Structure 1
Amino acid sequence: MPTRDAASTRVRRVLRLHPAQAVVVGFSGAVFLGTTLLALPISSVQGEATDFYDALFTATSAVCVTGLTSVDTATHWSGFGLAVILLLIQIGGLGIMVFATLIGLVLVRRLSVRSRLNAAAETDAVGADDVRTAIRGILTLSLLIEGVTFVLLFVRFILGYEYDLGKAAWHALFHSVSSFNNAGFALYSDNLIGFAADPFICLPLCAAIILGGLGFPVLMQLRREWGRPLRWSMNTRLVLAGSVVLLLGGAVYITVIEWSNPQTLGAYDPASRILIGFFHSVQTRTAGFNSVDIGLMYDETWVGMDVLMFIGGGPAGTAGGIKVTTFAVLLFILITELRGEGAVNIFGKRLSRAVHRQAIAVVLMALAAIMTATIALMFITGHNLDRTLFEAVSAFGTVGLSTGITYELPPAAEVVLVILMFLGRIGPLTLGSALALRQRRILYEYPKERPAIG
């Protein structure tokens, strides 16, 4: 008969999760807690309990820093509910394991090996040995960027819109946190349409979104080695170069197509059209604010935005999507194949073959998830392909942009988007490894054979 010590040992082994599993469990716990709090009567303006599916949808969107909403954020949630959403955004943006590790540093001033592994798994490029320094750097950068954005917005709300101090401070705080964490939640029923032509609101938000979307590894290396670009890692160079190309390319694409659309950019003067086009290019990097009605844009614009949302931002940050580095790796693999070369070389360094497989796996799993969800949404809602595909890509990329169908989705469709948002935030590979029961070491290899390709 097993002893009490043996039983407790088995329990500890069960609770000793793999780092990837800990990330999944952590995000799941945050979503569950957020759903519970948002469902309380105190969280709504009417003082009534919020429908479970709406609470679940909003909590998942906040924790996964997406920004899709099934109820009007500005009119449905009370001050308590909005505070819960803001806290979920901040926790989700920092990362559940990073946040837990930060709490551990504050309370006990030391980290266990498992805490370091969990935080390292979530921050991606950060090694387990330097987690303490990385966590402090992440916190410092986050508060600094959010603080600067807060000041700029606070001053503008007071001087430009005559908000009182309390309202200006609350709106500046909420939108600075929402922007840096690429969440896209806004305190206005029309999101940011009322500020479409105001560069003093739009540009600070864009700056915070871009910085958050670069990823913490890139931000920390830039902080340490800003004036020494030759020492930048391949990851930093790929993210910076890819972000510039996608931001400018997206801005030109959206602006040119929507330039004469009287329901979007066509209603503004030329300078404002350029600002709005750039603003929405930034939003496709997984932020989710909108300063014109996305549902009134041309279908061609939606397709281009689908591509930008699918790619997303930098790894180990607040952005979603397959990540700029994944897209860049696949692009360089294609170029290498077209040239007939053997190894993939990027910025004077050879790319590890393991990265080839990881990039391909991420893209295939992302496409499978999006296509499956799109088909499911079409069956459930009866909407056509362009709108459901846009919604699915936005959810998986944790973007939060919508063509306007989110509010009318039935519970089954909301669940589909909840799963997509969750998968898009934690990453397909993280989820796959977390669900795997164990890793198998293959002690043999089969003989090679090459099938015909293409």
Structure 2
Amino acid sequence: MTGRRSPGAERWRHPAQVVAAGFATAIAVGTLLLSLPIATESGDRTGLVDALFTATSAVCVTGLVTVDTGSHWSAFGEVVVLGLIQVGGLGIMTLAALFTVLVARRLGLRRRMLAQAETKTIGLTGIGGLVRNIVLFSLVSEAVVAVVLTLRFATGYGRPWGEALYHGVFHAISAFNNAGFSLNRNSLMDYVTDPLVSVTVAAAVIVGGLGFPVVFELLRGWRHPARWSVLTRITLVLTVALLVIGTVATVLLERSNPGTLGPLSGPGKLLAGFFHSTMTRTAGFNSIDTAAMRPESLFTTDLLMFIGGGTGGTAGGIKVTTFGLLAFVIWSEMRGHTRVNVGHRQVPESNQRQALAVVLLGIGAVSLSVLLMLAMTRHSLDLVLFEVVSAFGTVGLSAGITADLPPAAKLLLGVLMFLGRVGPLTLASALALRQRTRRFELPEERTIVG
């Protein structure tokens, strides 16, 4: 005899609810630990709002802070922050893997086999092995970056080996998970012209932000680009394009700004511009003073932060695949094509609708948050927009106003970080899982557009 499901069990059947609850639980535990006196250098309790904000920023791998990480938190507090970053980064990638399999199993056998052939990463079985590979790849990547940074901090800057190791591990985990937390008060500004530190951190950010499906496919088939999936092609092309555009825009707009790139040499400007462009992919480190950037540079950064990084990785934003898919939709419409094709593949209309929903809801969340923030503070529109987009895109770059915000504004940014981290993944999966075949069609009627 089969028993009836309890109302509680029925309520938690949808994966989106489980994901939201899991991240909320991690944030709650982190807030509790960071509220303890042992978590601060002074031995005093951190206020609830600041502890909650830091825990949310760490779990959502954002990097926005209301207190200085290196001076406010004790070693215990810093380890808690690092643990929350690791949980948030690994959690989002493994959840993306689970959702991919879950969505695939809702498809018919033929479509499932096509999806398997297309992604070359998600099989019809073996999710345990996939998650194990994700964790192993993440830990190995972090270890490699930690070794490089440790050696550089010790031999190039005279730090004691213990301190160099601690800083190397902390920044490696923060970089690969696109978190942007730093133990230095000025983030990585002391290394603005150091190619070894800047390029290593940037490489970790890029690899972590590509997404596990793309990384695993490249590891297996990098010699055969003709066989790459649509996901990998869009991700790689747009990643390179946005990195170049961001670098060129930053150098051109800030080259004469005495507060940012002005004092640097030509190669130094290029390195700093590339580093800043990379960080807009939701990493949050800065090697130049972001608060001193010109309004046009802030707006360019806003656009890059909103787009974000790759699907299934540690980056945030609406994702480059979403942006790229909509670009193909517009291009096909301009050319009068009835179908959207990427390479030798046709993109289903359901994917197009999902991408449109993610973008419009993201724009709506940012717009409403900017309006509320303007009502709560006296800061200008460009600074408020920068802070809001950074929170939604889980970037962590700041125009220097986060710590001075009133408690209500900090809570609003916390909600936005949570929405930006959990929202796009759960929304996309929810839309895919809710697909139903309609048993009837309504009469068609065209309307005027534009």
Aligned to 2:265: 269
Q: Report the Cα offset of residue 433 of structure 1.
A: 7.2
The residue correspondences of 1:104-123 to structure 2 (distance < 5 A) are 117=102
Q: Report the Cα offset of residue 98 of structure 1.
A: 3.0
Unpaired runs of 5+ in structure 1?
A: 102-112
Call closer, same or farther: CA 1:90–1:322 in 2, change over 3 Å.
same
2:377 equivalent among 355, 378, 381: 381
1:81 equivalent among 77, 85, 93: 77
Q: Report the Cα offset of residue 205 of structure 1.
A: 0.1
Q: Report the Cα offset of residue 96 of structure 1.
A: 5.8
> In terms of mean alpha carbon deviation, does 232-241 or 90-99 score higher?
90-99
Equivalent residues of 1:206, 1:279 under 8 A apart: yes
1:229 and 2:205 matched: no
The residue identity in structure 2 corresponding to 1:168 is A
Aligned to 2:56: 60
Equivalent residues of 1:67, 1:400 under 8 A apart: yes
Q: Distance in 2 between matches of 1:116 and 1:450?
A: 37
1:37 and 2:33 matched: yes
Show CA shifts across 1:67-89 (max 9, x none): 00011111110101100100110
SS at match of 1:398: coil
Aligned to 1:110: none
TM-score (norm 1): 0.90
Q: Distance in 1 between matches of 2:236 and 2:435?
A: 35
The residue identity in structure 2 corresponding to 1:136 is R
> In terms of mean alpha carbon deviation, does 14-23 or 31-40 score higher?
14-23
Aligned to 1:94: 90
Equivalent residues of 1:23, 1:118 under 8 A apart: no
Q: Report the Cα offset of residue 6 of structure 1.
A: 5.7
Equivalent residues of 1:22, 1:118 under 8 A apart: no
Q: Distance in 2 between matches of 1:210 and 1:234?
A: 19
The residue identity in structure 1 corresponding to 2:366 is I
Q: Distance in 1 between matches of 2:240 and 2:145?
A: 21
The residue identity in structure 1 corresponding to 2:305 is M
Equivalent residues of 2:354, 2:428 under 8 A apart: no
Aligned to 2:295: 299
Q: Distance in 2 between matches of 1:342 and 1:30?
A: 46
Equivalent residues of 1:286, 1:319 under 8 A apart: yes
Unpaired runs of 5+ in structure 2?
A: 107-118
The residue identity in structure 1 corresponding to 2:194 is D
Q: Distance in 2 between matches of 1:266 and 1:367?
A: 34
Q: Distance in 2 between matches of 1:35 and 1:196?
A: 33
1:351 equivalent among 340, 347, 354: 347
SS at match of 2:394: coil
Aligned to 2:361: 365
Q: Report the Cα offset of residue 46 of structure 1.
A: 1.0
Percentage of pairs with the same residue: 49
Aligned to 1:172: 168
1:244 and 2:240 matched: yes
Call closer, same or farther: CA 1:266–1:158 in 2, change over 3 Å.
same
Show CA shifts across 1:22-79 (max 9, x none): 1111111111111111111111111111111101110010001000001111111010
Q: Distance in 1 between matches of 2:376 and 2:104?
A: 38
1:418 equivalent among 414, 419, 422: 414
SS at match of 2:338: coil
The residue identity in structure 2 corresponding to 1:372 is L
The residue identity in structure 2 corresponding to 1:272 is G
Aligned to 1:254: 250
Show CA shifts across 1:151-178 (max 9, x none): 1101101111111111011000000000
Equivalent residues of 1:97, 1:119 under 8 A apart: no
The residue identity in structure 2 corresponding to 1:177 is I
Equivalent residues of 1:196, 1:291 under 8 A apart: yes
Aligned to 2:111: none
TM-score (norm 2): 0.91
1:10 and 2:6 matched: yes
Equivalent residues of 1:247, 1:278 under 8 A apart: yes
Call closer, same or farther: CA 1:88–1:220 in 2, change over 3 Å.
same
Q: Distance in 1 between matches of 2:128 and 2:139?
A: 17
Call closer, same or farther: CA 1:12–1:282 in 2, change over 3 Å.
same
Show CA shifts across 1:378-433 (max 9, x none): 00012111011111110000000010000101110011111111111113461587
Equivalent residues of 1:390, 1:402 under 8 A apart: yes
Aligned to 1:23: 19
Q: Distance in 2 between matches of 1:298 and 1:350?
A: 42
Q: Distance in 2 between matches of 1:119 and 1:395?
A: 31
Call closer, same or farther: CA 1:453–1:255 in 2, change over 3 Å.
same
Equivalent residues of 1:91, 1:99 under 8 A apart: no
Aligned to 1:197: 193
Show CA shifts across 1:280-313 (max 9, x none): 0000000000011101000010111011001000
Show CA shifts across 1:290-345 (max 9, x none): 01110100001011101100100000100000000111111111111111111111
Aligned to 2:277: 281
Call closer, same or farther: CA 1:28–1:418 in 2, change over 3 Å.
same
Call closer, same or farther: CA 1:116–1:251 in 2, change over 3 Å.
closer
Q: Distance in 1 between matches of 2:279 and 2:414?
A: 20
Equivalent residues of 1:362, 1:429 under 8 A apart: no
Call closer, same or farther: CA 1:99–1:370 in 2, change over 3 Å.
closer
Call closer, same or farther: CA 1:405–1:128 in 2, change over 3 Å.
farther
SS at match of 1:266: coil
Equivalent residues of 2:39, 2:76 under 8 A apart: yes
Q: Distance in 2 between matches of 1:115 and 1:328?
A: 19
The residue identity in structure 2 corresponding to 1:342 is T
The residue identity in structure 2 corresponding to 1:39 is S
